[in-house]
Amino acid sequence: DLAGADLEMVEYKVGREKLLKNKLDAVRDQYDYIVIDCPPSLGLLNTNALTAADSVIIPVQCEYYALEGLTQLLSTIRLVQKLFNTKLIIEGILLTMFDARTKLSVEVQQEVRKYFKERVYKSFIPRNIKLSEAPSRGQSIFEYDVRSEGARAYAALAKEVIQQNEGVK
């Protein structure tokens, strides 16, 4: 429903960081969870998402420059917390594109777990061809191949997030 929202938001100047929050506040009570999946950039859509969110799950690809991107995102989160959303928390860190057969994946995973400790989800998203194919078909992984390793990984993550949040309530 919000595809292309980044372009639409550019037209607004005053209060543009709160456009998404204002829209979501009107429907927030109708949902248990609202998931905002953002592109890996630090543009206006991401600022809106962080301003509207209660918490953020940070995906970290198990690849070479991932830790640099993570550092930039954490700076952006701190800025959004300071300027627009003091209640924003980091829900967790999600390791993605993990491949236990590669030394680099294992090293990135170890480094992230060393630094973020219990904030890193036990669930991780593996490198999986079905996850790459699903978007090109315009489908979620659950529509495309619910039995795939990628679908099982996302289902495990959803279960872990729900259990974590039920423990908070």
Q: Which domains does the chain have, with CATH numbers?
A: 5-127 (3.40.50.300), 128-169 (no CATH)
pLDDT at 45: 87
Share of the chain above pLDDT 70, in %: 91
Predicted confidence (pLDDT) per residue in 130-139, tens digit: 999 999 999 9
Indicate whether 42 pLDDT > 90. Answer: no
Indicate whether 164 pLDDT > 70. Answer: yes
Answer whether 0.95 is exceeded by the pTM. Answer: no
- In sequence order, what DSSP letters do the residues of the chain get, joined into one string? --TTHHHHHHT--TTGGGHHHHHHHTTGGG-S-------SS-SHHHHHHHHH-SEEEEEEESSTTHHHHHHHHHHHHHHHHHHT-TT-EEEEEEEESB-TTSHHHHHHHHHHHHHHGGGB-S--PBP-HHHHHHHHTT--HHHHHTTSHHHHHHHHHHHHHHHHHHHH-
pLDDT at 13: 54
